[in-house]
């Protein structure tokens, strides 16, 4: 730092030497029109692989639209949309291995679907049925986390267990831009750096923490640089570029798996939806900002690339849309046909062994249900 860089412009006292310097790198591989900006990663040279990524994003978007329709028609509870963030989620999911562990927030459906979580399980969760988080296929992944940043200590704890057991596995924790201001995040990041844990932490910077814009949350030039103080390698990526997102994730996962320690990634994207179906973003978000962001849509970006480089056409697009829609309708039917759990089931997933005080309450709820008195106690 020199005198001109000082906030108060005061002259230096004594001798000053630069101890260390830092930089944050930003990665983008295809621009928002779908044009390559340079050489592609090896996986992206295979059109079939890119079509898989495109299908996963389209499936996630169509699922999202259907879930909102279910909520609006009273068939599901409050729902958090992932519209606009599919590139981040699919990029993460395509880079992870089945043996890894995922600690999500509540918009990473694309990642979860790629890891084997069923769509009807997600619908069950938002319909108020905790069985939806008891994944049939991905048993080691964490359930959706609503308390802000609480999943990051979980992700770091899982990584610590992996290191103790000398397992070649990686834990991936995801949080939003607002959650990066929480102590849970900072403390977890510090432990991950100090103990060199096999964890990748992804900040999904969608520009809004409910109604609070990014520029009012933090004065930091990037959210990625929050890893510097913890000694954690950190970088920024265009999260709407699914190719770049997968590439950066693959590098971070490989480093962690080979004993290289943690990585912090800031994925830049935009929340095209309301915060949840209980929110009205038009009250705080300028309409012009939302419209301006539509040009960066991750799905359209990859579609443009495939159209110009992989013979993607309208016939293939229509077939894909129909295929994904049919898959979603089948999953929706499973959700709607699932019989509801009895009221006393709310106690069944609290403890391995239910404490006596809760057992008494459970018995009372069962008795009320048996006598038909439950409605008077709702």
pLDDT at 5: 55
Cβ–Cβ under 8 Å, residues 234 and 200: no
Let me know if residue 52 belongs to a domain.
Answer: yes
Geometric angle at alpha carbon 43, from 240 and 143, rounded to 5° = 55
Let me know if residue 292 belongs to a domain.
Answer: yes
pLDDT at 3: 44
Cβ–Cβ under 8 Å, residues 182 and 163: no
The answer to whether residues 231 and 350 belong to one domain is no
Let me know if residue 10 belongs to a domain.
Answer: no
The answer to whether residues 167 and 277 belong to one domain is yes
As for how many domains the chain has, the answer is: 2
The answer to whether residues 261 and 158 belong to one domain is yes
**Among 142, 119, 116, 111, which Cα is nearest to 64's?**
119
Using the 3D structure, point to which of 337, 352, 368 is the last residue of a domain: 337
The answer to whether residues 211 and 162 belong to one domain is yes
The answer to whether residues 77 and 208 belong to one domain is yes
**Among 212, 123, 122, 197, which Cα is nearest to 166's?**
197
**For residues 141 and 76, what is the distance between their CA atoms, to the nearest angstrom?**
24
Let me know if residue 35 belongs to a domain.
Answer: no
The answer to whether residues 293 and 319 belong to one domain is yes
Range(s) of the domain holding residue 366: 343-377
**For residues 207 and 285, what is the distance between their CA atoms, to the nearest angstrom?**
11
Let me know if residue 33 belongs to a domain.
Answer: no
Let me know if residue 9 belongs to a domain.
Answer: no
Strand partners, 263: 200
**Among 195, 113, 203, which Cα is nearest to 151's?**
203
**Strand, helix or coil at 238?**
strand
Beta strand pairing status for 171-176 and 212-213? unpaired
The answer to whether residues 361 and 217 belong to one domain is no
Beta strand pairing status for 199-205 and 208-209? unpaired
Q: Where are the alpha helices (DSSP H) in 21-136?
A: 47-72, 86-95, 109-114, 119-126
The answer to whether residues 121 and 203 belong to one domain is yes
The answer to whether residues 268 and 362 belong to one domain is no
The two three-digit tokens of residue 361, written as one number: 């309450």
Domain of 289: which CATH number? 3.40.50.970
**Among 272, 281, 144, 147, which Cα is nearest to 210's?**
281
Let me know if residue 7 belongs to a domain.
Answer: no
* Average pLDDT per 10 consecutive residues for the chain, totaling 378 residues: 57 85 97 97 98 98 98 97 98 98 98 98 95 94 96 98 98 98 98 98 97 95 98 98 98 98 98 97 96 98 98 98 98 97 87 93 90 50
pLDDT at 369: 79
User: Which pTM was predicted?
Assistant: 0.92
Let me know if residue 202 belongs to a domain.
Answer: yes
Long-range pairs for 155-158 at CB < 8 Å and ≥24 separation?
A: 155/101, 155/103, 155/188, 155/199, 155/201, 156/188, 156/191, 156/192, 156/197, 156/199, 158/101, 158/103, 158/199
The answer to whether residues 368 and 353 belong to one domain is yes
The answer to whether residues 176 and 99 belong to one domain is yes
Close Cβ partners of 231 (under 8 Å, ≥ 6 residues apart): 193, 194
The answer to whether residues 266 and 330 belong to one domain is yes
């Amino acid at each position: 730092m020199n005198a001109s860089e000082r906030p108060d412009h005061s002259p230096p006292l004594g001798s000053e030497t630069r101890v260390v310097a830092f930089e944050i790198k930003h990665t983008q591989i295809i621009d928002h029109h779908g044009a390559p900006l340079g050489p592609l990663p090896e996986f992206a040279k295979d059109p079939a692989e890119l079509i898989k990524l495109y299908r996963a994003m389209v499936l996630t978007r169509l699922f999202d639209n259907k879930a909102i329709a279910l909520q609006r028609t009273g068939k599901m509870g409050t729902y958090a949309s992932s519209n606009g963030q599919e590139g981040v989620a699919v990029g993460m999911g395509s880079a992870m291995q089945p043996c890894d562990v995922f600690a999500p927030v509540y918009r990473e459906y694309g990642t979860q679907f790629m890891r084997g979580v069923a769509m009807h399980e997600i619908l069950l969760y938002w319909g108020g049925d905790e069985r939806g988080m008891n994944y049939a296929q991905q048993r080691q992944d964490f359930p959706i986390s609503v308390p802000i940043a609480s999943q990051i200590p979980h992700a770091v704890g899982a990584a610590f267990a992996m290191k103790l057991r000398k397992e070649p596995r990686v834990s991936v924790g995801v949080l939003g831009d607002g959650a990066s201001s929480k102590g849970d995040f900072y403390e977890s990041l510090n432990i991950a750096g100090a103990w060199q844990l096999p964890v990748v932490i992804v900040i999904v910077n969608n520009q809004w923490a409910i109604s609070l814009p990014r520029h009012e949350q933090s004065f930091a030039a990037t959210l990625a640089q929050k890893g510097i103080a913890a000694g954690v390698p950190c970088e920024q990526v265009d999260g709407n570029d699914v190719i770049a997102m997968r590439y950066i994730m693959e590098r971070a996962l490989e480093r962690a798996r080979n004993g290289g320690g943690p990585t912090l990634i800031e994925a830049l994207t935009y929340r095209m939806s309301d915060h949840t179906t209980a929110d009205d973003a038009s009250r705080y978000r300028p309409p012009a900002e939302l419209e301006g962001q539509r040009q960066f849509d991750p799905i359209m970006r990859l579609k443009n690339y495939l159209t110009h480089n992989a013979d993607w056409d309208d016939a293939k697009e229509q077939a894909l849309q129909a295929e994904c829609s049919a898959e979603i309708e089948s999953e929706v039917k499973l959700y709607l046909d699932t019989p509801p759990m009895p009221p006393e089931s709310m106690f069944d997933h609290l403890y391995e062994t239910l404490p006596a005080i809760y057992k008494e309450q459970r018995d009372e709820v069962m008795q009320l249900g048996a006598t038909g008195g439950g409605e008077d106690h709702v």
